[in-house]
Amino acid sequence: MLNSSESCPASGLERPEVLGWLLETWTAWTGLEGLDVCLEYAAHLLWVFTPLLVVFILPLFILLFLYLSILFLHVYGSKSVLRTAYSHSFWDGARKTLAALWDGHATIWHGYEVHGMDKIPDEGPALIIYYHGAIPIDYYYLVSRLILQKGRTCHSVADHFLFKIPGFRLLLEVFFVTHGPREECVRALRAGHLLAISPGGVREALFGDNAYRIEWGGRTGFAQVAIDARVPIIPMFTQNIREGFRTLGGLRALRCLYERCRLPLVPIYGGFPVKFRTYLGDPIPYEAGTTAPELTEKTRQALQRLINEHQTIPGNIFRALLDRLSRRTKEEE
C-alpha cells in the first residue's frame, strides 16, 4: 500500500492544479499540445461564418414550413371516412387551418399588412397580377388573408418545376395551383374564381434585385386571359419583398446556367424579419376592343406606380428592418 510520499507527483497539489497537470500530461502524451490554439481558431471561424450560414439556412425554413403543411394535409386526408360523400367541401377545414398558421407566421415575423383588400371582390372573378420576389411568400400570405377574411381561395398559376418537387402535388391540388394552359385559366375565371399570375415568373424571382425592375419580357398571355374571360385585373405589390429574401442572380454564370437548363439553381438567402406591406391597386376594368399588348402595358404601368409610390429604391435590408420596428399605422400609410 502506497503512503503519501509514494503517490503521484501531483499529490501535494490542490484539486484544480491536479486537473491542470492531468490535462497537460494527456495533451503531451497525445501530441495535442496545440489543441487550445486549434479550438481558438475554430471558434474564430465560427464567429465569422455563422451569420453567413444563417442567411442561407433561413430560406430553408420556408421550405420546411411548406412540407409541414403538406404533412398536415396528408394527415387530414387520411382521418375522414366521409371524404367521398363530402368531397365538395372536404378540404375547406384544412385550407382554413393552414391559412391561420401562415397568417400567424406573417404577423409575427413580418408584421404583415394588406392595404386595399376592398379592391378584391367578395364574389365574382378577377385576375391578380403581382410582382414576384425571390420567394413569393407575400403571395402565400395574401392567399391566407383571402381565405380568412373573405372566405375565398385564390387559384394560382405556377412554373412547371414546382410540380416536379417531391411531395408538392397534394398541396398544389388543395390550393388550386396550375401551370396553365391559357384555356384552363380562362375556365377558372369564367367559373367565378379569383386567379393570380406573376408574368415575371421564375426569371423575375431569381434575377430581379433591389432596384425592383419589372421583368416580363414580351409576355402578354395573362392579358389575353383577362380579355377572353372579360374580367378586371388587380395589380399587387409588396413593399420590401426583395429585402426579405435575395438571390445570387447577379452572377453571370448562374444566369447562363438558368437560360440553358431552365432550372432554378440560383441560391437564395435571407429570411430577414423585415416589414411586409402588400398593396392592391385599383382594378383595371375589361374594355371591349383592347388588345393584349395594350392591356399588358396598362397593367405594367399600374404595377410600376405601386412600386414607385410604396418602395424606396434601391431597397435596403437595414432600413426595412427598422421599418419593422416602427409604429406606423395603416392610417399613416
Catalytic positions are 132
State the DSSP code for 51.
Answer: H
Nearest to 105 by CA among 132, 65, 71, 139: 65
In the chain, what's the furthest Cα-to-Cα distance? 110
- Which of helix, strand or coil describes residue 306? helix
- Which of helix, strand or coil describes residue 156? strand
Phi, psi of 250 (to 5 degrees): -70, -10
- Checking DSSP bridges between strand 277-280 and strand 233-239, what pairing results, if any? antiparallel
Contact assessment for residue 223 and residue 293, using Cβ atoms and an 8 Å cutoff? yes
Q: Count CB-CB contacts under 10 A for residue 165.
A: 13
- Checking DSSP bridges between strand 233-239 and strand 155-157, what pairing results, if any? unpaired
Phi, psi of 9 (to 5 degrees): -60, -20
Q: Count CB-CB contacts under 10 A for residue 252.
A: 8
Contact assessment for residue 239 and residue 311, using Cβ atoms and an 8 Å cutoff? yes
CA distance 177 to 2: 82
Contact assessment for residue 130 and residue 198, using Cβ atoms and an 8 Å cutoff? yes
Nearest to 246 by CA among 135, 137, 130: 135
Contact assessment for residue 241 and residue 139, using Cβ atoms and an 8 Å cutoff? no
Helices (H) and strands (E) in the chain, counts: 12, 9
